[in-house]
Amino acid sequence: MVSYPKDVFSRMFAGSHKTSQDLLYPKVEEANIDFEEVDEALRTNIFNVMLGRRSQRKFDETKPVEDSKMEMIFAAADTAPTAGGFQGFEIFNVKRDEIKVKLVEAANKQPYVNAPVVLVFCMNPERVRMNFPQDILKKFSLQDATLAAAYAQLAAHALGLSSIWIGMIDEIKVMNALETKYTPSSILCLGYPRKILQPKSKRSLIGLIHEI
């Protein structure tokens, strides 16, 4: 087994020192964790993940995503930088089918929003306790939520999952579906892919980078 920085490891898997109130998922010894797979994921080169990622809209409905992978994805999302370190975002892990159906409707009827894992990233500007105007705090929380979703997306790919980022959402409908006061920034749908897709080609760096 590779040696992990201790705190990272304990955030990914609830250690036995934690009380049951701290636990999102079962304790290490109770969870069915494939440690070889975890080791492999932790050794992943980030460039391989970035260069191999491709949006996926067809998920294998017969293969559920393991709780241990979800825990790693959430821990990865929580490593993202946030404005002032205030973590101005919230994540909703939508498990109930009736809410997923409402989110399909809220996302312009995109059917693949009804995915094995549906995460809604929301802004929480109230957490950003900085002495700046309200619109700046809102902007910070939007960036916090977006970065967290991007980190979660990359982590998911490092774990052999695929994803689709959903930005075409009706904010009010999403808030009603979640019964929350938090404004959503994006929905990240995850699952095992039915078929591995090759990454899309992008415009050349010469057109993208403006050296001035």
Ligand X SMILES: Cc1cc2nc3c(=O)[nH]c(=O)nc-3n(C[C@H](O)[C@H](O)[C@H](O)COP(=O)(O)O)c2cc1C
- Binding residues (CB under 6 A) for ligand X: these are 54-55, 110, 164-168, 200
**Residue number, 73 or 187, with CB nearest to ligand X:** 187
Which residue, 38 or 80, has its beta carbon nearer to ligand X?
A: 80
| Alpha-carbon 121 to chain mean position | 8
The single-letter DSSP state of residue 55 is B
CB under 8 Å to 39, separation ≥6 — which residues?
1, 2
Shortest reach from residue 175's CB to ligand X, in Å: 17
Q: 125: closest CA among 114, 133, 117?
A: 133
> Between residues 104 and 128, which has the closer beta carbon with respect to ligand X?
104
**Rounded to the nearest whole angstrom, what is the least distance from the CB of residue 207 to ligand X in the complex?**
16
Q: What is the DSSP letter of 118?
A: E
Q: How far is the CB of 186 from ligand X (least distance, A)?
A: 7
Strand partners, 94: 118
Residue nearest to ligand X (CB): 167
State how far Cα 114 lies from the chain centre: 16
CB of 165 to ligand X, least distance (A): 4
CB closer to ligand X, 44 vs 55: 55
